[in-house]
Structure 1
Amino acid sequence: MQNISSSTITKKLQQLFSLLQKGQTKVVLEELTLLLSSVDDNADVMHLAAMAHKADGAIDKAIDYFIKSININDNQPQVHNNLANTYKQNLNSKLAVKHYKKAISLHPRYIDALKNLGLLYLNQQDLGLAKNNFEQVLVLSKNDVSALTSLGNIFKAQHEFQTAIQYYQQALMVNPNYVNALHNLGVAYRMSGEFLLAIDCFKKAQIIAPNLADLDYNEANAQFDMGNYQEAEQAYWRSLHKAPGNCEVHETLNEFYWQIGKKSEFGKSFKLAIEHLPKNYLLRHAYAESLLSAGNQAHAIIIVEQALKLEKTPDLLHLKGKLLASAGDIKAAVLLIESSLLKQYKLSNALDLIELLIIDFDYEKALLQIAYAEQIAPKNQLLIAYKSICWRLTNDQRYEWLIDYQKHIQIYDIPVPKGYSSRAAFLDELQGVLLSMHQTEHEPLKQTLKFGTQTPGRLFHKPIKQIVELKNAFEEVTREYISALPKDNLHPLLSRKTNQISFAGSWSVKLKPNGFHVNHVHPEGWLSSAFYVQVPDFSHYPQTSEHAGAIKFGESSMQLKEREKIARIVTPKPGMVAIFPSYVWHGTIPFNGPNGVFRLTAPCDITPRED
């Protein structure tokens, strides 16, 4: 092997690094091939080879060269950081964390590695660890705008919007043109119900970054929240003109058309984008999902078959399985979804398989799938709900331990907030506020609601007097419910007993005549509730059920016919709150009545707060 001096190698590496920065990756790889034939023990050469292969898209080769560099010299924090970035790109979070930590141990003031590790934790929803990393960055650099913004993102993820807003504002004081902070400040304002402030942030950011489609998309969402439908529609289309392949924007735009009653426009954006991007199978997949949600299975299967000709992805196989199931071919659907999970395991797809196995009487196999999925998502309430059905149908005594329909479902009258002469006076004011938020014509596509409307956003984050009073009243009855629960460290409800709670979701539903909620659970909750603001006197109108308008518990969404069982029915009245475990199946019984009659509720989900 030719002997090359270290100064010659250093000079050569500088030249090649400059070429790599200019995007001349192929030239660098050719030169490195010659250099590597003469030098096989230089860590810097291996590091540059890794970076060049990564730039060329050869991730596995890049990882090999990073490891060779480290094997020659393990004390290189930058190489460990770059290797961690590559593992993160390759979806190997465990090894990414290992090498970020190694980089930081070698160089405790390595800000890039601290931030990169923090971002990885944030992506994994390990919010406490992420917060710790970004706080370390601020100790080293108190005005680091990306760290300030990331801390804002952490508090936003915890629904602590006011704290998040403070961090974004602090970042913008350092750099008023930092788009990431300005964008997320707008999102936080929107999530806390400050729609005008949100739109102002998005418009300012659009001036700085006019090609960033997400800014138009989030402005559209805020305009929709305000009922400014023309402005929302225009902003959605601006976003799609900038990013025609963005499936999330297409789905939201078509959801928008559905809810406001412009069904003639439904699917238009997908069709135009598919014409423009004919080889984009993801667009076809998203379009088929939207069609399925809208009840158009026949058109959805045509689009799925077109997409499968482009790419046989696990998600497309899963979607075809769902469509076969909707057509009644359960066994073929099971085979397809099983094959998709063997190629790539996804919890959402596994949940669909579990449901089909239960429908097909295969409870043993369903329970095996549940046990595997619980290793990934032990608190997922839908998994527990499916388990409850399997246990009931196999006469497993644990079913009665899991759900006590008398003790676990409790009914309260909402406390009367201070300043009101009666509960009725509070409900009257609250009803006016809530009705002003129900501006759409139809229910959301992917919700359990049928023949009604649902408010957008998070109700309890709106800075409106009556909503704040309602949230405070909910906290009071929720703590009363929790205080009465016993402790059982093995029980999925009782083991999480705590006084530290958060409202994970809150909204209002206006049910019209013939309206109802299909049976469902709340997968991301711990406790769920139904609060009744307005309940008509159903006895004034002919009804098909003596329990019209009531909430029922125990019957699943799987339409198991004689295998279904309603365990409890609760008749609502204005001011009543029902609180129950989020994994308990529940739905409503439809009611009849003339146009103008409605039932108004304000449900919410509650989770233990994780500081």
Structure 2
Amino acid sequence: MQSQPNIVIPTLINAFNAGDFLFVINTLKKNGALVRVGPVVSQLHGSALRKIGKLDEAVKVFEKGLKLFPQSTDLMNSYGNLFLDKMQSEKAILWFTKALKIKPNGFDYRYNLARAFYAAKRYGEAEKQCHQLLTTQPNKNTVLLLMASILVEDHRDDVAERYLKQLLGIEPQNVKALNNLGNIKRKNSQFDEAISLYKQALSTGNPTAELFQNLAAVLALKGSMNEAFATYKEGIRLFPTSVSLHKEYAHLAWVQNLETPFSYLEANLSINNPDLILAYTEFMIRVEEYDKAKLWLEKLIEAKLPTYQIAVAASLSNTLRELGYFEKALATVSVKASNPTLETLPLLIEKSYSLLSLKRYKEAVKALELVCRISPLNQGYWTLLSTAYKANGDEAKYNQLCDYQRFVSVQPLLGNEDTNTKFINILKAHLNTLHNNEKHPIGQSLRNGSQTFENLLDSAHPVIKELKTSIEARAKSFLSTLTKEKKHPFLSRLSQDIDFIGSWSVRLRQKGFHKSHYHSEGWLSGVLYVDVPAEVKTSGNGWLVFGRPDISGVEMPEDFAVKPKEGNIAFFPSYMWHGTNPIVTDEQRLTVAFDIVPDKTS
């Protein structure tokens, strides 16, 4: 195509709007001089690269465009959206703010700035931007939806409901508003109201995979398993490529112990649906069907799909490592892991795992120190680094991260022994009503036991609300005994403003245990012992053990253990390897576990 701007640029715009992103990219590679015609060229090129997942290349295109056209607010806006895709919300905030300084009335720029603040969990600032937008367009549906989402994250469900009802007063059939209001009802255990809202949204004639997924999940929570499965199946029939629908159906079928939990996924597997293949192979890895995972991952490798190369290579390396092919696992990622970025980080992590499996500990230390510099907030990377230090004999560095005497706290939940015992007995009775599954969840650490759905501590049940308050008080008490250290992954983030990001109850029975694991998204983790079998008094059965990694080819003994006691709560950094010794009797071991992070909204 000749580089005549008045012909080429409209053609590129039409191609972009039609989703032909490769045409846009290839045309502009052949017509490089077009970049000087105007900012729209860089905007099209960078946005097309963003759409196919080549985010690092898109960064370079936007940077070049902004050097040529430093006052282009639309280019700044597109660049900010790219950083949102890269989950670099602070950089997105910077570019949306720059655009607004030039054009203070840019509605889209301010809306995207609110989205960026929301992504950064800076909810107060996000809410402020939305208020400003609503002064000019008080009934703008996208802003009302975003405002409600902000308020939900800020634990102000009642106010969020008002905004959603305002939107539904204007647009009674707004599917997103009905869905999001249903989500609030679901969160607050108002299952009948949630079901009614989801069904109303489905009746609009604009069904979405998310609606079927949410309706089925609430039906399952209510105990209506037959209707839940029927809803999942109908959703999969209408949306056969929906990854989330397939994953939730498979998970429920697994925990309910159905014979073929992955049958619907397997029936829809095709090289034309790589996302489904990745979901399926993730399941196969987690249920230890490694040969099935290897078969499909090798097909994806052969397909050479640009957007999926990193994810596929990392998963194949993981699979090969679990099969014991450590050298092959390393070869799968070693060449691709040079000059790592956030995008290529999964390859470097898999390389680090393989180096540990091959007992090449010094190389593993070097690789994992780089990983932790690139992504310091992921606690799982510090877990691996601590393992590398321990294996390499770097005792001082290992102890700095895993000072068990200092960082593991065990204490009664409530100060008064009688009060504590009475509360634990009430809690036990309630938790026992929540454990209705036949099998452990896919991909979780427990074996021969059950785990509750949803975030337990979000429940409006009075005993759970009291539990949450008590755990928070104990956590703050423990944190107040520690001193901040600037470069330490745990101590550098010390705060009395904390938030729960996950909570659940686990019930173990005969031969039940937790594999060693860590919580990559947490910061401070904990477990409350609600019911403890008598066997914990002898032989270490059911004890919580620290420092024993679960990595193929790596054998290390535990370094520290906690003996469970009813009413006691244990806190520890989320990056510490922890698991349990099996129990052998049929008495239950009932716990509440949770993850806490510093609250960025404060």
TM-score (norm 2): 0.83
Contact 2:201 2:207 in 1 (8 A): no
Q: Which residue is 1:294 aligned to?
A: 287
Residue 410 in 1 paired to residue 409 in 2?
yes
How many Å separate the matches in 2 of 1:346 and 1:68? Answer: 22
Letter in 1 for 2:595: D
Q: What is residue 392 of structure 1 aligned with on the other side?
A: 390
Q: How far does the alpha carbon of each residue in 1:518-576 deviate from its partner, in whole angstroms, 9 at most, with x for none?
A: 11111111211111111121179xxxx71011111121222666x51322222112111
Contact 2:310 2:347 in 1 (8 A): no
Kept in 2: contact 1:416–1:473 (CA 8 A):
no
Moved more, 91-100 or 318-327: 91-100
- State the match for 2:240 in structure 1: 244
Match of 1:147 in 2: 143
1:182 to 178, 184, 189: 178
1:516 aligned residue: 513
Return the index of the structure with the highest Cα Rg: 1
The answer to whether residue 197 in structure 2 is matched with residue 194 in structure 1 is no
State which of 280, 293, 298 in structure 2 corresponds to 1:305: 298
Q: Decide whether aligned partners of structure 1 residues 348 and 466 sit closer, same or farther in structure 2, where only a CA change above 3 A counts.
A: farther
DSSP 3-state at the match of 1:406: helix
Q: Report 1:445-594 matches (<5 A).
A: 445-538=442-535, 546-558=539-551, 564-594=556-586
Contact 1:50 1:62 in 2 (8 A): no
- TM-score, normalization: structure 1? 0.82
Check the 8 A contact 1:548/1:590 in 2, yes or no: yes
**8 Å contact 1:285–1:307 — kept in the other structure?**
no
- Give the C-alpha shift of residue 409 in structure 1: 1.1
Comparing 86-95 with 244-253, greater Cα deviation is found at 86-95
Q: Which residue matches 2:593?
A: 603
Which is worse superposed, 507-516 or 399-408?
399-408
1:315 aligns to what?
A: 311
Structure 1 residues 513, 159: CA separation in 2 closer, same or farther (over 3 Å shift)? farther
Task: Check 1:281–1:41 CA distance in 2 against 1; reply closer, same or farther (3 A cut).
Answer: closer
Structure-1 separation of matches of 2:574 and 2:91: 35
For 1:329-408, what aligned pairs fall within 5 Å after superposition?
329-341=325-337, 345-393=343-391, 394-408=393-407
Instruction: Tell me the secondary structure at the aligned position of residue 507 of structure 1.
Output: strand
Unaligned ranges ≥5, structure 2:
28-33
1:4 aligned partner: none
Count of aligned pairs between the two proteins: 575
Partner of 1:271: 266
Deviation readout 1:359-392 (Å, 9 max, x if unpaired)? 2222232223223322332122112222222222
CA distance in 2, matches of 1:470, 1:104: 45
Flag the 1:159–1:250 CA change in 2: closer, same or farther, 3 A: farther
- Output the CA distance in 2 between the equivalents of 1:208 and 1:351: 46
Segments of 5+ residues of structure 1 without an aligned counterpart are: 1-8, 34-39
Return 322-331 or 119-128, whichever deviates more.
119-128
Aligned CA distance change for structure 1 residues 111 and 297 (closer, same or farther; 3 Å) = same
Distance in 2 (alpha carbons) for counterparts of 1:321 and 1:63: 28
Moved more, 322-331 or 354-363: 354-363
Three-state SS of the structure 2 residue aligned to 1:476 is: helix
User: 8 Å contact 1:552–1:588 — kept in the other structure?
Assistant: yes
Percent identity among equivalent residues? 25
Change (3 A) 1:421 1:367: closer
Distance 1:186 1:516, change over 3 A: same
Partners of 1:497 and 1:57 in 2: CA distance: 39
Q: 1:283 aligns with which of 276, 279, 289?
A: 276
Structure 1 residues 167, 356: closer, same or farther in 2, change over 3 A? farther
Change (3 A) 1:386 1:78: closer
Q: Equivalents in 1 of 2:509, 2:144: separation in Å?
A: 46
CA contact (8 A) 1:314 1:341 kept: no
Alpha carbons 1:385, 1:583 under 8 Å: kept:
yes
Deviations 1:61-119 (A, max 9, x none): 99999999999987665576467668878999898766644442232122122113333
Q: Give the Cα–Cα distance (whole angstroms) in 2 for the partners of residues 358 and 89 of structure 1.
A: 32
Letter in 2 for 1:273: N
Alpha carbons of structure 1 residues 425 and 330: separation in structure 2 relative to 1, 3 Å: same
Cα 1:573–1:335, aligned 2, differ >3 Å: closer, same or farther? Answer: same
Between the aligned partners of 1:376 and 1:22, the Cα distance in structure 2 is: 33
Out of 379-388 and 431-440, give the one that drifted further.
379-388
Identify which of 93, 97, 107 aligns with 2:103: 107
2:30 matched residue in structure 1:
none
Distance of 2:486 and 2:371 partners within structure 1:
20
SS in 2 for 1:234: helix
CA RMSD of aligned residues (A): 4.0
State the 1:349 CA deviation. 4.7
